[in-house]
Amino acid sequence: MALQQAELIPIYQHLHQIPELGLEEHETQAYLLQLISQMPQDFLTVKKVAAVPTALLVKVSGHKHDYRIGYRTDIDGLPVTEATDLPFASKHPGKMHACGHDIHMTVALGILSYFAENQPETDMIFLFQPAEENASGGKRLYESGALDDWMPDEIFAFHDNPDLPAGAIGCRLGTLFAGTCEIHAHLTGKSGHAAFPHNANDMVVAGSALVQQLQTIVSRNVDPIQSGVVTLGHFTAGTIGNVIAGEAQIDGTIRALTQEMNAHIQRRVRTITEGIALAYDCNIDLTLHQGGYYPVENNDAITADFIDYMQAKDDVNFIETQPAMTGEDFGYLIQQIPGTMFWLGVDSPYSLHSEHMVPDTSAIMAGVNAMTGFLTHRNELQK
């Protein structure tokens, strides 16, 4: 029997207890391998990837081999200290599945277990991908060449969404998620005694000016009909109140729904940073890192079919959604392989990345059922 609610909930709870950061998902990988080894093996081949050691690829051999349908789940957790009071809360201090990748993995296992028993028409490739949050795991996996002889012709993935009702499927034609780019700025001036500012070069002041100026980009440099985000979530400087700070560190992220706008904002960040370094006579070491976090652009034909399918199903609550400024390294994969990304509602009052986020687990079976049905339909198109 394919994995059902009674098996999937304990699997989810176990995964929730063992979150690991990107590229460190060894315990998670071992647990996934154990579960996959318990499925019927007739059609399954499992591949590890030397260049991305915590990744797993699983092929389900179909009746024929001239087409491959890909399905991707991410497997990493976040450096967040859980504050949910769940009986199955994280056992790894300072780490949590606060972005719901435990839900993603559980749904993927449910779908995989179905096709392990019900041989699909075409080959199917399941990607258990590390490091969605921080290290472009999808890009690494693609560039490792491990997919080359298993390259999907189309690919699907979802992200859970606390703002949608549990089990609802959300999607849209066109861009679903933003492209992102990390900002890291290290400022170096001259520390000194609080009483003699003229002999020092204060990085609290220079850093504050940098924050203020970067925050003008969206209001003054972005076409108001389009959109963009510059968030600076981290700013540290100095040591104590009566010492002028000689160093500061500012980190943040750029978000935009097109690659052109993302690149435009990156250029403005560079120019403004150079100007602040000049104006405050300090050194600013700026790193802008986009990696694989391109906008998630859904393929028109495949996504129209996805939406038609979900809308026609009485047991699917389909909701057309707006683009979101969340990022996803699936943006890289979907640039290489046409496909669809969608949301799965998990109805939580707390947002993704919150230490209080508790997804409604009734979404798991809803996701498995909707996607086994849809992937069977995509298989049948290849008959």
- Which residues are part of a known binding site for Mn(2+)? 99, 101, 133, 159, 353
Return the residue of 35, 99, 124, 310 that touches ligand L5K734KM, per CB under 6 A.
99
327 touching ligand L5K734KM, by CB under 6 A: yes
Which residues ranging from 141 to 160 are in contact with ligand L5K734KM (CB under 6 A)? 159
- For residue 187, the cross-strand partners are 248, 284
Give the residue among 195, 170, 160, 18 at the shortest CA–CA distance from 89: 18
Instruction: List, as one string, the DSSP characters of 211-244.
Output: HHHHTTHHHHHS-TTS--EEEEEEEEE-SSTTEE
Those residues with Cβ within 8 angstroms of residue 160's Cβ, 6 or more apart along the chain or in another chain: 99, 100, 103, 104, 343, 344, 345, 346, 352, 359, 363
Number of residues counted as binding ligand L5K734KM (CB under 6 A): 12
Give the Å distances, CA to CA, from 297 to 171, 259, 331, 342. 11, 10, 7, 11
If binding is defined by CB under 6 A, does position 74 make contact with ligand L5K734KM? no
Which member of 20, 154, 328, 347 binds ligand L5K734KM (CB under 6 A)? 328
Please report whether residue 101 would count as binding ligand L5K734KM according to CB under 6 A. no
Does 202 qualify as catalytic in the annotation?
no
260 is catalytic: no
Does residue 228 touch ligand L5K734KM according to CB under 6 A?
Answer: no
| Site for ligand L5K734KM contains 134 (CB under 6 A) | yes
Task: Name which position in 90, 161, 298, 326 contacts ligand L5K734KM (CB under 6 A).
Answer: 326
Helix (H, G, I), strand (E, B) or coil at 25: coil
- Phi-psi category of residue 281: left, alpha or beta, with phi > 0 → left and psi -120 to 50 → alpha: left
379 counts as binding ligand L5K734KM under rule CB under 6 A: no
Residue showing tokens 């002028």: 244
The Cα 349–Cα 272 span in angstroms is 37
By CB under 6 A, residue 106 contacts ligand L5K734KM: no
Interaction site with ligand L5K734KM (CB under 6 A):
99, 133-134, 159, 180, 182, 253, 293, 326-328, 352
The residues annotated as belonging to the active site are 74, 133
